[in-house]
Structure 1
Amino acid sequence: MNSVQITTAFLPVADPAASARWYSEALGFQVVSVDEWSAVLRCGSGSPTLTLMGPASGIAAAPGLAWATCNLAVADLDQARSELERHGCEPGDVEGSYEVCRFFTASDLDGNTLLVTDR
């Protein structure tokens, strides 16, 4: 059997360029490319990408997903939560346990649910 990897997660957004700026400023993503259809973001060299799909892409899903398409693992959960608050989010409380996983949810500019975890 071939080995399989997840290479990207997709999120519907209203404006790929504006969303790419927000993800870069609020969460530290690197913007790889932006056009009228989409924006491709990366967390670091060799990491999977996050593709923000705008209306011109033809994506059937509307922005404002009530569930997270992936988790965003961060080194410092409290710092990430504070940074998101600074960028206009209203993150939920930190939940979970130190033994398994700590996490919180927030929403991006388009109301898509983000799941931010410590691992």
Structure 2
Amino acid sequence: MTSIASAFVPVHDPVAAADWYREHLGLTVESASSFSAVLTDGSRRVTLMGPRSGIAATPGLPWASASYRVDDVARTAAALRERGLDVSDVAGDPSVCLFVTTRDLDGNVVLLVDR
């Protein structure tokens, strides 16, 4: 059986980016260095790849490389706005998926979904 090991997001500073994802999305930082940072929700992982990692991807992705499931999209969007983040309006179809987007420290699109 194949399983997903990690999604990758290019960042300028993995340590600072890890703090952003911890603070705003509540992810746990498993490790962080100048090369990369590994974040988890307890079972799935996201790896923030810095320039020293050798990954030739430029931060500021205009599309989401991963989606993050939240309990309540509207409530999460409101909380992120209170923290000063620019968050899209809730979009999607309630019978399929509701979502919002924001951007992380490096300008990467962050997609928050309800399922």
Same fold (TM over 0.5): yes
Contact 1:27–1:83 (CA under 8 A) maintained in structure 2:
no
Q: Which aligned segments of 4 or more residues in structure 1 are displaced greater than 6 angstroms? A: none
Aligned to 1:5: 3
1:59 positional shift: 1.1
Q: Which moves more between the two structures, 97-106 or 78-87? A: 78-87
Whether 1:51 aligns to 2:53 is no
Q: What is the SS of the residue equivalent to 1:41?
A: strand
Structure 2 distance, partners of 1:58, 1:21, is: 22
Inter-partner Cα distance in structure 2 for 1:59 and 1:97: 35
For residues 84-99 of structure 1, the aligned pairs below 5 Å read 84-99=80-95
Q: Which runs of 5+ in 1 are unaligned?
A: none
Is 1:80 matched up with 2:83? no
TM-score, structure 2 normalization? 0.94
RMSD, matched Cα? 1.1
The Cα shift of 1:76 comes to 1.3
Q: Which amino acid aligns with 1:24?
A: R
Equivalenced residues, count: 115
Task: State the alpha-carbon separation in 2 of the partners of residues 58 and 38 from structure 1.
Answer: 10
Match of 2:98 in 1: 102
Where structure 2 has 5 or more consecutive residues not aligned to the other structure, the ranges are: none
Q: Give, in whole Å, the separation in 1 of the partners of 2:74 and 2:41.
A: 18
User: Does structure 1 residue 69 correspond to structure 2 residue 46?
Assistant: no
Deviation track 1:35-90 (CA, whole Å, cap 9, x = no partner) reads: 1100000012xx11010001111110110000111111111112221232234321
Structure 1: distance between partners of 2:22 and 2:83:
11
Percent identity between the two aligned chains: 49
* Letter of the structure 1 residue corresponding to residue 80 of structure 2: L
CA deviations over 1:4-60 (Å, ceiling 9, x no partner)? 11121000001111111110010000000011100000012xx11010001111110
